[in-house]
Amino acid sequence: MVNMRYALYLGCLIPFREMNYEISTRRVAKDIGIEICDMGDANCCGLPIDSVNHEMMTLLAARNLCLAENMELDIMTLCNGCTGVLMKVNKKLKADRELRKKVNHQLSSIGMEFQGKIKVKHFAQILADIDVDILKKFIIKPLHSLTIAGYIGCHIFRPSEFMEVKNPENPSLLDDLIKLTGAKSVRYVDEYQCCGFVEGAIEPQIPLFLAREKLRNAKKAGADAMVTICPSCHQVLDSNQRRAERKFSEIYDLPILHYPQLLGLAMGISHEELGFNELRVKPAKLLEYLMEV
C-alpha cells in the first residue's frame, strides 16, 4: 500500500456522463492506498470558456486551486483538459507576481486567496510516479493475452512547456502504464493526434472522421481494445463509435476502456465493480476471452 491523499477534481463530464471512469478510479485507488477526498465546492475548470474570455477562465481555475489549498491537499484530476488548465494556471500564478496580484485582488471578492501551495497531477501521472516495483505487487492477474492500443489525448503532454514531458513527440506515460498490467501495448498511426471532442459543438462531423482514423489504425495494429485517460477522448471513441460506424458503413466493434478499468482487471477486481456495464461498446467478447485464458 502506498500512503497518499489527494483532492479529487472531477470536472463536468466525469460525474454525469462518464461515471464508470469515476467508479473504477475510486475502486482502484482504494486498493492501491490512495485516499480520495472529494471537492464538494468545485466548479468547471474553465477550459470550455477560454475562447470566450481568458480572464474568466483563469479565475475559475484559480478558484478550484484555492479550494484545494484550503483542504491542504494536492489535486488529482481525471480529465486531460482539466489537468492542462489547472496545471497551467497554477504554474503561471506561481511564477508571475503581477498576474497573481491581479487575480488575488479579484478572488478577494469571494474571500479567497491563491497562495501557491499545491500541485496538480493527473491520476496517470500519480501512478507513473509511484515506484514500479510497488505497483507490480498489486498485479495479481496479469493480462498477458491482451493487446492494447493506448490513446493518451492532448492536454496531458501538450504544450510540453507546461506539462513537464521529457519527449513530447513520443510520450511514454500511457505505454508504460499499459505494460504494467502485463498487456502488450501496440503503436499505431496517429496515436498522438487530437480526438476533436471540442469540435462537436461547431462541426459535429469532424470528430467522427478523427475517431474513424484512430479506430481503424488501432484495429489494423491488432488491438483487442483501446485505453483512454480522458473522458472527452472516451466520449468520441466509445459513445460516438456506433455513429461513426453508421456514417462510414464500417464495423469497428472495438471496446474503449478507461485506464483504471484495465488496471483493475489486472488487480483481480471483478468487472462489475469497475463499471464495465456502463460502456457503450460492450466488452463482452474481451471479458469472455479473458475468462478462457
Residues forming contacts to other proteins in the complex (CB under 8 A) are 10, 12-13, 15-17, 19, 22-23, 26, 38-44, 47-56, 59-60, 63, 106-107, 109-110, 154-155, 158-160, 168-169, 193-194, 196-199, 201-203, 205-206, 209-210, 275
Q: Cβ closer to other proteins: 202 or 251?
A: 202
Phi, psi of 29 (to 5 degrees): -60, -35
Q: How far is the CB of 233 from other proteins (least distance, A)?
A: 11
Q: How far is the CB of 44 from other proteins (least distance, A)?
A: 5
Q: How far apart are CA 168 and CA 170, in angstroms?
A: 5
Collapsing DSSP to helix, strand or coil, 180 comes out as helix
Q: Which helix (H) or strand (E) holds 4?
A: strand 4-9
Q: CB-based contacts of 52: which residues, under 8 Å, 6+ apart?
A: none
Q: How far is the CB of 34 from other proteins (least distance, A)?
A: 16
Q: Cβ closer to other proteins: 133 or 169?
A: 169
Q: CB-based contacts of 85: which residues, under 8 Å, 6+ apart?
A: 45, 46, 47, 50, 57, 61, 155
Q: Cβ closer to other proteins: 81 or 255?
A: 81
Q: CB-based contacts of 44: which residues, under 8 Å, 6+ apart?
A: 11, 12, 60
| Residue of 118, 17, 34 lying closest to 25 (CA atoms) | 34
Q: How far is the CB of 43 from other proteins (least distance, A)?
A: 4
Q: Cβ closer to other proteins: 47 or 183?
A: 47
Q: How far is the CB of 165 from other proteins (least distance, A)?
A: 10
Q: How far is the CB of 36 from other proteins (least distance, A)?
A: 10
Q: Cβ closer to other proteins: 43 or 115?
A: 43
Q: How far is the CB of 168 from other proteins (least distance, A)?
A: 6
For every residue of 25-70, DSSP letters joined together read HHHHHHHHTEEEEE-TT----SGGGTTT-HHHHHHHHHHHHHHHHH
Q: Cβ closer to other proteins: 159 or 222?
A: 159
Q: Cβ closer to other proteins: 82 or 135?
A: 82
Tell the burial category of 36 from Cβ atoms under 10 Å away from its Cβ (0-12, 13-18, 19+).
Answer: middle
For 67, the grid coordinates are 479550494
Q: How far apart are CA 167 and CA 261, in angstroms?
A: 26
